[in-house]
A and B are shown apart, each in its own frame.
Chain A
Amino acid sequence: MLLTLFGISIIIFALLRLVPGNIVDILFDSAGMVNPADKVRIEQELGLDKPLPMQYGRWIGGLLTGDLGYSYVSEKSTIDEIAPRIPVSARLASTALLFAVLIGVPLGVISAVRQNTWIDYLLRVVSLSGLSLPSFWLGLLVLMAFVATFGSIPIYTESPRTFGEAILLVVVPAATVGFRSSALIMRLTRSSMLEILRQDFVRTARAKGASAASVNYGHALRNALLPVVTVIGIEAAFLAGGLIVTETVFNIPGLARFLVESIRNRDYPIVQNLVMLIAVVVVTINFLVDMLYAALDPRIRYSD
């Protein structure tokens, strides 16, 4: 795990320096001029004149001692910039994931159990729509529908007036982004279930008189869940840092939008530390998924 994070740190650091233009160019861009003397002065002030290995060492050293540096743009500490955005993104991502699992898994099971019936066809159309509708378009459509129907718009506000509004501001974007994930989970659950439902042990369970619910959910679903859990893990990793489109459309000040803005500004301390944070979350999610495999399938053991 540590080796993975070390590799990621090298990649982030190197890639950021390979991208043309640095923070000083961008600072001057907003001023519409470039003064070479001032440029050198700012580069010195930000430590960008130092050799790259020294810059890397300074970053990793700071990371180990809890000194994450400060944003070149806002001149605030990196922690102060990142910390308030974590709950915003975490709330959105976890609600979206919950939505995706709660919708995707049961509907996938229903679709498989009722294979080739009208409900299966309907659910397949819904899941295909979820996969093919771009989030940006869907998000705007949802906003337009809200404005046209209710005369209000569920875009982020720091202090919602009512509890209901607070819930709405999380649920609507989460459902928009979760729709795509639920479609993926639904399709995978369906195909995995169809495969399991044809296996001998399912037939045996039916033959000994087990109820349909017990066969479908107790025997088949548990065995069908392994690939689904893998996809849920991948989706969770994506949601940890990939919500840029949803955050932009619903104007949510989360981590993904902040990361993209920071990359645009070449705000190295923010980008480096934020990507590391996302990497830690992704690695942790993968670890948890691996643990979940063992829980779902007793044959899987990691002790050896």
Chain B
Amino acid sequence: MARWPTIVMSSLMLVSSAAAMAQTPKQGGVMRFWHRDSPGSASIHEEATYSTNFPFMPVFNNLVIYKQDVAQNSTESIVPELATSWSWSADSKDLTFKTRSGVKWHDGKPFSANDVKCTFDKVMDKTQDKFRKNPRKAWFNNVREITVQGSDEVTFHMERPQPAILAMLASGYSPIYPCHTTAQVQRTAPIGTGPFKFVSFKQNESITLARNPDYWKPGRPYLDGLEFTIVTNRSTALLGLVAWKFDMTFPLEVPIPLVKDLKSQSAKLQCTVAPTNVSTNLIVNRDKPPFDNAEIRRAMALTIDRKAFIDILSEGAADQGGSMLPGPEGVWGMPKEMVTTMLGYDPDVGKRRAEARKIMEGLGYGPNKMLKVKVSTRNTATYRDPAVILIDHLKEIFIEGELDVVETSVWFAKIARKDYAVGLNLTGNAVDDPDQAFYENYSCGSERNVTGYCNKDLEKQFDAQSQELDVAKRKAMVWEIDRAIQNDVARPIIFHGRMATCMQPEVKGYTQMVNSSYNGYRFEDLWLDR
């Protein structure tokens, strides 16, 4: 039931977006955005947060991109951008792109297919000039080599067929960088081919972009510039929106309870609620006794009352599901009836907890012998609040959790070196595709597999689904894998969050994507009806 308002809002958003397209766009104006924090750098390839994509995606183009006016990212919504077309070899191992001619970098130099090779060779760590950090190198593990034919053709040669490579290339995380600059330049004053040119990036203050008058797409962009003001205090930022200091909030950064509050202050504001494709999950250190015992992990999975989390934290708007984002917004999420068959998803919480208590009692724990543990989490509200609820649920099965709040900047370093026993984490998926989610979060040795979960048999299934060209068959395989991951208590998914994006009624041509927070910020179709 709680789902309906959000679906209606998403649909309304689509309708209003379509209506905006029907109007004649106006040229000019500077769009003022609220940005929630200072990105680590301007280099999209080196960061792993959409705090970087949001302001810097307009500086670049991809080879291919998710169509910016379609809310759901899927294979069908991928369109050429710096490529003009693509084709697969007969064995589906080589993917060739024809690239666009006449495109110029912001510094006036011509773009060529060689820039594509340079970019992804750097991502694959094959160049002298290296990224400081390279969080998505694993996305291209299956790419053996990239070759260039002339100045307008480039081929990705793969070890095995991988249809999802197109999804990776269409993500906001895969911009094309020029060969003639270094990684350092791209971090500080990026050069792209995109609709907007970089003007300035003042740490903790602002990011400014200006219209690229030589943009290859005729008539675009509509706006003269984009201004991102960094406001770390959300209350100040939202007051700024009410006072028309900003035209739009940071995407999906307004919690659902605050939407009503905002609308009460300014009825004209338009807010869209959508899934963030960020899951809140329980992480357990499998190497740390007594959590090396699979039975304890199983009991922990059984005690989670997902509905309670969702009702308390998002007024019932968030979703239950496996590691893939649930439908209808998510393309790969398993059907509802299948979700309830997974370990810990039975709606009868009482029955589950009784089973969990029996397991714990069998291991010697009880009301008089509680298992004491620190529940570590990052020191921000989105982590802390669910961690407190988690502690309450663990108490039901004789686990006495103590909240261990970790300074936000050292959180990842802490969990990466496995310096925790039990924790609550958030995981974002940039692309709604199983290849990204499975390899990144659950494959043996992956840098982002924070629990160290490793199942070689399951990894073979990762490869099998990855090679499957038939979407329906692949979906069925993905659901089985997802179920196995949840039943294995790899990283129990508690809920998939939903948040809102709010904007002034004059903002036109923006489509809030519903299954990724990372891919919808090219902003070339954005305009202001003033």
A interface residues with partner B (beta carbon < 8 Å): 20-21, 25-35, 38, 41-42, 71, 73-76, 81, 140, 143-144, 146-147, 151-153, 155, 158, 248-251, 253, 257-258, 261, 264-266
Contact = CB atoms under 8 A, between A and B. Distances in A.
A73 B297 CA distance: 39
A143 B413 contact: no
B407 A30 contact: no
Given A38-B134, A257-B204, A32 B235 contact: no
Given A29-B409, A30-B47, A31-B48, 6 more contacts: A31-B46, A31-B135, A42-B132, A74-B201, A75-B187, A253-B202
B277 interface: no
B505 to A, nearest CB: 16
Contacts of B41: 73, 75
B412 interface: yes
Contacts of B239: 140, 143-144, 147, 153
Interface string B85-122: 00000000000000000000000000000000000000
Contacts of B243: 146-147, 151-153
Given A140-B235, A153-B243, A266-B409, A261 B202 contact: no
A13 to B, nearest CB: 19
Interface in B440-457: 447-448
B231 interface: yes
A4 B172 CA distance: 51
Contacts of B245: 152-153, 155
Given A76-B188, A147-B242, A155-B245, A20 B410 contact: yes
B266 to A, nearest CB: 9
Contact of B411 (A29, A33, A153, A251): A29
A146 B205 CA distance: 22
Contacts of A81: 203
Contacts of A42: 132-133
A258 to B, nearest CB: 6
Contact of B240 (A21, A155, A257): A155
Contacts of A251: 229, 231-233, 236, 240
A140 B236 contact: yes
B17 interface: no
Given A21-B407, A32-B135, A249 B236 contact: yes
Given A20-B410, A38-B134, A27 B40 contact: yes
Contact of B40 (A21, A41, A73): A73
Interface centre among B49, B188, B239, B417 (most CB of A within 10 A): B239
Contacts of B46: 31
Nearest to B188: A75
Given A21-B410, A144-B239, A251-B236, A33 B184 contact: no
A152 to B, nearest CB: 5
Given A38-B132, A75-B188, A33 B233 contact: no
B133 A158 contact: no
Interface centre among A28, A31, A73, A264 (most CB of B within 10 A): A31
B416 interface: yes
Contact of A264 (B49, B187, B409): B409
A28 B140 CA distance: 20
A258 B410 contact: no
Interface centre among B40, B46, B133, B448 (most CB of A within 10 A): B133
A244 to B, nearest CB: 11
A250 B265 CA distance: 19
B49 A30 contact: yes
Contacts of B205: 158, 253
A265 B205 CA distance: 16
A151 B417 CA distance: 50
A36 to B, nearest CB: 10
B84 to A, nearest CB: 32
B47 A31 contact: yes
Contacts of A25: 409-410, 412-413
Contacts of B265: 147
A158 B46 CA distance: 29
B126 to A, nearest CB: 15
B184 A75 contact: yes
A248 to B, nearest CB: 5
B38 interface: yes
Contact of A261 (B38, B47, B133, B240): B38
